[in-house]
Copies of this chain bind each other. A is one copy, B any other.
Amino acid sequence: MKILQVDFPSPGPFGAEMTEMMQGLAESIAKEPGLIWKLWTENAETGEAGGIYCFENLETLNAYKEMHAARLEKMGVRDLRFKIFDANVALSKIDRFPGL
């Protein structure tokens, strides 16, 4: 299991408009090989968006990361920031995280 943390400056849309515009993308992400879950993040005040993803392994994470970086760059996104992490499962369970 591997965690992908993504954030980038975004002019929007945010909130309900984002939900509407990105629904098809969310449905396609749900079908990505190796994806366990994605938490969608957004901040209308600071003009940022991103996501926290959990993948089955580093191979499926990296395949998605390359595809997603190219897609976001095509959408005009700059200053994309990716971080790859392991989850510490034992500590996260103590702190009630339900996604592991």
Contacts and interface: CB of A to CB of B under 8 A. Distances in A.
Oligomer copy total: 2
B35 A95 contact: yes
A42 B20 CA distance: 34
In the complex, which of the residues A22, A92, A95 has the most CB atoms of chain B within 10 Å of its own CB atom?
A95
Contact of A87 (B7, B39, B92): B39
Interface in A26-80: 26-27, 29-30, 35-44, 46, 48, 50, 52
Given A83-B48, A84-B43, A37 B98 contact: yes
In the complex, which of the residues A15, A39, A44, A92 has the most CB atoms of chain B within 10 Å of its own CB atom?
A39
Contact of A42 (B27, B35, B52, B86): B86
Contacts of A97: 37-40, 99
A100 B37 CA distance: 12
